[in-house]
């Protein structure tokens, strides 16, 4: 009897739903449209979340990192872990795809460029007539003042207020340093010229080199002998190599040394390519060779290096050029090595592209350089292991398994522990996404509540008849809820199919925002692709559908309660 009653109730609910076809279709359309909009919205937000996680973990961080316990806080060179043995244990852990050993240091990179300029000495009265665009004219009370043309100033990054140093030392009585008091327009003199304004400056020009090059005792191959200058420094080193005879002019070779402080990351190229996206960011040249190689050049032994696009601009170098780098070592003093630029990368993060370089980890294990070795056996060591896990894997569980296999001095952390602020942002984003979906479906559910209330008001006499022949009030309420269930089910099928269709387009083509931000945008240090793509997962379909059912059934509770409370006598009186 109960089975027959349930079957009859379901049949009645389905038929009642379509007694007012137009109203039902309008409500069904509103619910289906809300669901069809919610599914791709959720997919887009989850796509953004996935892209942010890939950006956080892919560029450098990895899913999990392993360090010596004190290293993350103190960052000391001697806080190392053995490379080979720990790497094998990490790779044996289920869920681990790749493991990249890394060593860190800091240093200063320097590059030199030689140019030829013509220096001309003139009386102060003659120079004072030249219009100065920046700075001021030379002052008679300051014997080492000079003017510089704008093209030379722009090329060598010299400005008014800069101090120009001549090497080797000029003749006795001349200026050892020349103060650039102002900049004038090259168009006013029609030639790239530096004007020297005072007799003490002109005395340099009056000393011809008799056809021989003047040199210094410095060895260009030794970077320690090169004067390192920050790119923003007002000082420029000029080395006189050739001077043409003449009382008031000379042609000089100008040596400008560009330098910049950098963070050094020593990597095993093949392993690093499996953990991070650095190898995909090369815009010029090539990635580091997997085998550690040193080549001989005119400037000595050189290794390979990757530098950022902005650092290449600061140093005025390109692929194939040789630069020098002083780097910190475990011996607590800097050692130098020459490097050839193998490739130039771009991450989109200005600080990273300007202040980070990549070298082969063989440089770190060189005892005559960084010296990252442990014990009498000289076991190669590293500061960090960056680990890539399976997509969708539980990082915390994998990290726990790794930690159980490593020695006590090793610390294992997930990217969420390393960057808790980013993890909190992503969790907040997911919560906000759920709230947005709930609001969308709540608006659509108002149509459900309105439809069911209208149905109750129109069928008061019908409910009175059903109760008078023995139907329980609870069954009347269940009848209304069943009608709502069928409405939500139909809307879920219709809206789900439409939503999945829209989402599939967003997965493959996405929303192209390159017309607004052609290079993407950076959020909390993460580069977001300008093409915004959705992700399609079972969860992305299930959550909107479940929300639709829950909100719709909740919206139908009040109409169901009203229908259950109707009394037969009042029902007949109301209709009468």
Q: pLDDT-based confidence at 524, cuts 50/70/90? A: low
Q: pLDDT-based confidence at 1, cuts 50/70/90? A: very low
Which of 374, 402, 437 is the endpoint of a domain? 374
Q: pLDDT-based confidence at 4, cuts 50/70/90? A: very low
What pLDDT is recorded for position 246? 38
Between 255 and 292, residue with greater pLDDT: 292
Tell whether the model's pLDDT for residue 109 goes beyond 90. Answer: yes
DSSP secondary structure string for all residues of 205-228: HTS--TT-----S--TT-GGGS--
Which of 374, 405, 436 is the endpoint of a domain? 374
Domain shared by 439 and 538, yes or no: yes
What pLDDT is recorded for position 219? 37
Domain shared by 432 and 503, yes or no: yes
Q: Is residue 460 in a domain?
A: yes
What pLDDT is recorded for position 347? 85
Domain shared by 556 and 427, yes or no: yes
Tell whether the model's pLDDT for residue 107 goes beyond 70. Answer: yes
Domain shared by 557 and 466, yes or no: yes
Domain shared by 447 and 562, yes or no: yes
Contact call for residues 548 and 62 (beta carbons, < 8 A): no
Q: Which of 216, 249, 257 has its CA nearest to residue 233?
A: 257
Average pLDDT, the chain: 79
Domain shared by 437 and 540, yes or no: yes
Domain shared by 452 and 370, yes or no: no
Q: Is residue 70 in a domain?
A: no
Domain shared by 295 and 368, yes or no: yes
Q: Is residue 257 in a domain?
A: no
User: Which percentage of the chain shows pLDDT scores above 70?
Assistant: 80
Mean pLDDT of 496-524: 77
pTM for the full model?
0.68
Q: How many domains does the chain have?
A: 2
Q: pLDDT-based confidence at 210, cuts 50/70/90? A: very low
What pLDDT is recorded for position 359? 96
Task: State which residues form the domain around 291.
Answer: 281-374
DSSP secondary structure string for all residues of 9-37: HHHHHHHHHTTTHHHHHHHHHHHHHHHHH
Q: Is 138 helix (H, G, I), strand (E, B) or coil?
A: coil
Distance of alpha carbon 42 from alpha carbon 369, whole angstroms: 52
Tell whether the model's pLDDT for residue 220 goes beyond 60. Answer: no
Q: pLDDT-based confidence at 317, cuts 50/70/90? A: very high
Q: pLDDT-based confidence at 463, cuts 50/70/90? A: confident
Tell whether the model's pLDDT for residue 185 goes beyond 50. Answer: yes
Domain shared by 317 and 428, yes or no: no
Contact call for residues 155 and 254 (beta carbons, < 8 A): no
Domain shared by 433 and 556, yes or no: yes
Between 240 and 178, residue with greater pLDDT: 178
Tell whether the model's pLDDT for residue 304 goes beyond 60. Answer: yes
Mean pLDDT of 170-185: 76
Mean pLDDT of 289-316: 89
Contact call for residues 181 and 160 (beta carbons, < 8 A): yes
What pLDDT is recorded for position 563? 80
Mark 311-327 as b/e (b = at least 16 C-beta within 10 Å): bbebbbbebeebbbbbb
Domain shared by 344 and 449, yes or no: no
Q: Is residue 553 in a domain?
A: yes
Domain shared by 355 and 437, yes or no: no
Q: pLDDT-based confidence at 365, cuts 50/70/90? A: very high
Q: Is residue 529 in a domain?
A: yes
Q: Is residue 33 in a domain?
A: yes
Between 3 and 569, residue with greater pLDDT: 569
Tell whether the model's pLDDT for residue 271 goes beyond 50. Answer: yes
Least confident of 94-103, 111-120, 277-286, 436-445: 111-120
Q: Is residue 309 in a domain?
A: yes
Identity of the highest mean pLDDT range in 99-108, 111-120, 215-224, 430-439: 99-108
Phi and psi at 399, nearest 5°, equal -60, -40
Tell whether the model's pLDDT for residue 218 goes beyond 50. Answer: no
Phi-psi category of 95—alpha, beta or left, where left has phi over 0 and alpha has psi -120 to 50? Answer: left
Between 226 and 572, residue with greater pLDDT: 572
Tell whether the model's pLDDT for residue 458 goes beyond 50. Answer: yes
What pLDDT is recorded for position 105? 93
Q: Is residue 365 in a domain?
A: yes
In terms of C-beta density within 10 A (0-12 exposed, 13-18 middle, 19 or more buried), how is residue 7 classed?
Answer: exposed
């Amino acid at each position: 009897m109960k089975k027959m009653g349930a079957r009859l109730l379901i049949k009645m609910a389905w038929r009642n739903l379509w007694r007012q076809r137009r109203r039902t279709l309008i409500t069904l359309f509103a619910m289906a449209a809300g669901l069809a909009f919610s599914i791709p919205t959720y997919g887009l937000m989850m796509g953004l979340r996935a892209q942010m996680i890939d950006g956080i973990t892919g560029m450098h961080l990895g899913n999990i990192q392993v360090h010596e316990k004190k290293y993350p806080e103190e960052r000391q060179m001697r806080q190392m872990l053995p490379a080979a043995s720990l790497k094998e244990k990490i790779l044996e852990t289920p869920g681990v795809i790749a493991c990249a050993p890394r060593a860190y240091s800091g240093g200063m990179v320097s590059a030199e460029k030689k140019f030829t300029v013509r220096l001309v000495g003139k009386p102060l009265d003659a120079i004072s007539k030249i219009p100065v665009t920046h700075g001021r004219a030379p002052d008679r009370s300051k014997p080492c003042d000079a003017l510089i043309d704008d093209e030379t100033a722009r090329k060598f990054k010299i400005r008014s207020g800069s101090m120009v140093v001549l090497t080797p030392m000029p003749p006795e009585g001349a200026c050892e340093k020349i103060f650039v008091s102002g900049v004038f327009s090259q168009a006013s003199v029609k030639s790239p010229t530096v004007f020297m304004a005072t007799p003490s400056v002109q005395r340099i020009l009056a000393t011809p080199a008799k056809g021989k090059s003047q040199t210094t005792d410095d060895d260009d191959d030794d970077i320690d002998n090169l004067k390192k200058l920050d790119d923003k420094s007002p000082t420029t080193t000029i080395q006189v190599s050739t001077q043409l005879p003449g009382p008031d002019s000379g042609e000089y070779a100008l040596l400008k040394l560009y330098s910049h402080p950098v963070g050094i990351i020593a990597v095993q190229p093949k392993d690093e390519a499996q953990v991070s996206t650095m190898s995909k960011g090369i815009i010029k040249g090539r990635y580091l060779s997997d085998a550690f190689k040193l080549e001989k050049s005119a400037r000595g032994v050189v290794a390979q290096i990757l530098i950022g696009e902005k650092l290449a601009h600061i140093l005025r170098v390109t692929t194939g050029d040789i630069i020098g780098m002083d780097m910190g070592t475990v011996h607590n003093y800097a050692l130098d090595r020459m490097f050839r630029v193998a490739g130039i990368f771009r991450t989109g993060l200005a600080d990273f592209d300007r202040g980070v370089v990549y070298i082969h980890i063989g440089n770190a294990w060189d005892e005559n350089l960084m010296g990252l070795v442990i014990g009498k056996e000289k076991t190669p060591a590293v500061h960090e292991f960056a680990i890539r896990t399976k997509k969708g894997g539980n990082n915390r569980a994998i990290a726990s398994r790794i930690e159980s296999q490593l020695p006590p001095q090793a610390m294992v952390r997930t990217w969420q522990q390393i960057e808790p602020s980013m993890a909190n942002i992503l969790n907040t984003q997911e919560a906000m996404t759920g709230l947005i979906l709930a609001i969308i479906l709540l608006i659509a559910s108002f149509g459900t509540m309105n439809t069911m209330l209208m149905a109750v008001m129109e069928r008061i006499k019908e409910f009175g008849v059903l109760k008078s022949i023995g139907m329980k009030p609870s069954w009347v309420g269940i009848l209304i809820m069943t009608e709502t269930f069928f409405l939500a089910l139909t809307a879920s099928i219709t809206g789900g199919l439409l939503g999945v269709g829209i989402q599939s387009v967003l997965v493959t083509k996405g929303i192209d925002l390159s017309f607004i931000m052609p290079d993407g945008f950076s959020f909390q240090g993460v580069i977001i692709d300008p093409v915004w793509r959705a992700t399609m997962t079972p969860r992305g379909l299930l959550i909107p559908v479940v929300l639709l059912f829950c909100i719709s059934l909740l919206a139908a509770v009040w109409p169901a309660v009203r229908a259950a409370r109707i009394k037969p006598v009042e029902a007949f009186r109301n209709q009468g």
